[in-house]
Amino acid sequence: VAEEMKLTAEDLLQLEIIDRIIQEPQDGAHESFHTIAKHLKEEIETELKKLKEQDLQELLENRYQRYRKFY
């Protein structure tokens, strides 16, 4: 169903709805909850740091341009 609706991670990446795909552990996120939670925390902190380094006007303009693509 996800493939037909173009909702796979690869589809969303190609459509520029997401910036990147965060890989799950080999045994799946449900089997390695603490591992994936730690990894997600690190990824979120890294992205927030990048966003905080941007000038407010630049951040707003980038966000505006990004979401404009979807309409």
Evaluate whether 70 touches 18 at the Cβ level (below 8 Å). Answer: no
23/40 Cα distance (integer angstroms): 10
Q: What is the pLDDT of residues 34-56, one digit of tens each?
A: 888 999 999 999 999 999 999 99
Please check the confidence at residue 7 and state whether its pLDDT lies above 90: no
The answer to whether the predicted template modeling score (pTM) of the entire model surpasses 0.85 is: no
Where are the domains positioned within the chain?
Answer: 9-68
